[in-house]
Every structure is written in structure tokens, then in C-alpha cells.
């Protein structure tokens, strides 16, 4: 029997349309493609909770899914508003349903907020491009979310905010110098969430499309010296998208197989499906 997965898009309609214009797919459509590449038997539905009047699943609907995945977003949770609150309430409902839940970046922030944590702007600034030296702690070394990851690794990333106050029931699994929660398991209301602050779902083409939008902040914050420097960085990412074997570009960007190899780059999503989604599906008698 096929897996039934729900992909929850964190972006507003305007941001979704811009991402599609820049990359060819919305963030949720791209995430669904990654999920299907990992689990070819997966049927992926998409939910758009930022849209007023969106047809979101009720409790029975959530229980009918084998897994729920939360995407990234351009929003900042501390700005509040109905677009944010609908996502928090949906995550709370997923917790109550007991359906396995996973989130990237904004996803882990929503997972934390729904469980009583808090999110704030990172006082150390933005992480953009690649999160460096993500370090797996003792709990992470024993956790299936990070199965196959080395003790220290890099990953695609784009975020300004972090989980700043921990939910009551959380295991932090990995961190790095600018971000104290890079991977975690959160338990709330009878449900379990696995999440990461980085983006294992991002390939080089999608990351290039996002970085291209950040020219002014990247220059202002010292990531790039100017527009030419920024354009060269974006072109390097696009080159790796077109020609994954470009060892010269990989060397210039300081990337190893944890980022270059699609299977290793998406390890957390693969582990979520392998260790959470399929076993829970079997436990529920759907296998």
C-alpha cells in the first residue's frame, strides 16, 4: 500500500509564486518531489495553511496520513498573525493525531512553538548557503534521525531565526557555533516531531534560486563584497546543479560528499521515512 504524505507549505501565496517563478516549483512541490524520489510509492498532498479559508485536514484527516512534512518559509514566527497561528494550530493537531511529523528550518520552529517553545532572531546573525560544522552530540549519535551522518558535517541552510526557548520535552541532537538547535526530537500531546534547522531537501538549483534573492542583505551583512561577488556565488551553485561532478566548484565552496551526494544530503528525510513513517504505518495496520 502506498505511503500517504502531507506536505505543509509554510509560505504565503505571494512567496510561493515567487519561488515558482525563480525555480519552477513552489517549495512544497519541490519537497514532494524529493519525498517521491526517496519513496516512489508515496502519494503527496499539499496543504496551504497561510491561505485564508484553506481546506486543512481535520483530526480524522490527519490520522489518515502516514507522515506530515513542514517546509521552510519566508515568514518570521515572532511577527505573529493568522498565517503563523494557523500553522502552529495545525502542528498541534498533528501532534495530537500521533502522525509522524518532520520539518526543515521553519518547520522545526513551528514544531517547537506548537510544543511550547519560542523562536527569536539569532543574535549571531544569518546562516546562509551552507551550515558549517554541524556537530552531533551524544543523544544524536544514538538517534535514528542522524543515522549515517558523521560526527561533524555541513548542510544547505537559509535562516535568520532559531529555536531560542526549548519546549518542555525535547532532545537536541546536533548544533553548531551559530545555531544551538540544528536537529532535535520534540514530543508533545502524545505525538513526536523530528526536525532540522538546515535544509536536507535543497538541491543546488533551489538553493541558488533562494540565494539570488538575498543579494542586498548578503552584501550588507558581509557575506559578499559586492554584486559581482554575489553573482559569482550564485553561478557556482547553478554550475553544481547543471554539472554535479564539478570538483573545481565543490573545492571552491568547500563542499564534501555530505552535501554533494544527494542520498547523503537527504539523510534525515530518508531516516524519517525509514524509521518513523514506515514503522508507524505498519503499527497502525496499514502495511
**Catalytic residue numbers, as ranges:** 105, 199, 201
Between CA 89 and CA 177 the distance in angstroms is 31
How far lies 21's CA from each of 26, 27, 51, 199, 217, in Å? 8, 11, 19, 20, 21
Nearest to 53 by CA among 27, 83, 93: 83
Nearest to 150 by CA among 141, 142, 139: 141
Contact 199, 72 (CB under 8 A): yes
Contact 92, 62 (CB under 8 A): no
Contact 97, 191 (CB under 8 A): yes
Q: Could you tell me the three cell numbers for 30? A: 519541490
Helix, strand, coil content of the chain in percent (nearest 5):
45, 25, 35
Amino acid at each position: 500500500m502506498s505511503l500517504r504524505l502531507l506536505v505543509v507549505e509554510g509560505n504565503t501565496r505571494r512567496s510561493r509564486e515567487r519561488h515558482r517563478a525563480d525555480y519552477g516549483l513552489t517549495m512544497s512541490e519541490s519537497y514532494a518531489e524529493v519525498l517521491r524520489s526517496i519513496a516512489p510509492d508515496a502519494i503527496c498532498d499539499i496543504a496551504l495553511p497561510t491561505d485564508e479559508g484553506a481546506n486543512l485536514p481535520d483530526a480524522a484527516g490527519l490520522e489518515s496520513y502516514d507522515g506530515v512534512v513542514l517546509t521552510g518559509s519566508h515568514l518570521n514566527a515572532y511577527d505573529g498573525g493568522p498565517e503563523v497561528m494557523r500553522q502552529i494550530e495545525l502542528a498541534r493537531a498533528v501532534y495530537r493525531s500521533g502522525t509522524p511529523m518532520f520539518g526543515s528550518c521553519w518547520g522545526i520552529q513551528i514544531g517547537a512553538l506548537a510544543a511550547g517553545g519560542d523562536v527569536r532572531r539569532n543574535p549571531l546573525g544569518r546562516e546562509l548557503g551552507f551550515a558549517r560544522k554541524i556537530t552531533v552530540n551524544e543523544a544524536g549519535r544514538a538517534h535514528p534521525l542522524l543515522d549515517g551522518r558523521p560526527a561533524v558535517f555541513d548542510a544547505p541552510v537559509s535562516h535568520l531565526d532559531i529555536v531560542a526557548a526549548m519546549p518542555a520535552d525535547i532532545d537536541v541532537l546536533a548544533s553548531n557555533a551559530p545555531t544551538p538547535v540544528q536537529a532535535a526530537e520534540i514530543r508533545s500531546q502524545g505525538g513526536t516531531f523530528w526536525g532540522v534547522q538546515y535544509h536536507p531537501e535543497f538541491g543546488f538549483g533551489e538553493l541558488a534560486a533562494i540565494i539570488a534573492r538575498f543579494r542586498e542583505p548578503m552584501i550588507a551583512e558581509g557575506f559578499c563584497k559586492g554584486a559581482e561577488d554575489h553573482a559569482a556565488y550564485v553561478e557556482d551553485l547553478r554550475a553544481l546543479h547543471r554539472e554535479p561532478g564539478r570538483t573545481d566548484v565543490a573545492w571552491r565552496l568547500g563542499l564534501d560528499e555530505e552535501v554533494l551526494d544527494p542520498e547523503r544530503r537527504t539523510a534525515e528525510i530518508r531516516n524519517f521515512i525509514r524509521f518513523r513513517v514506515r514503522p508507524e504505518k505498519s503499527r497502525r495496520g496499514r502495511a
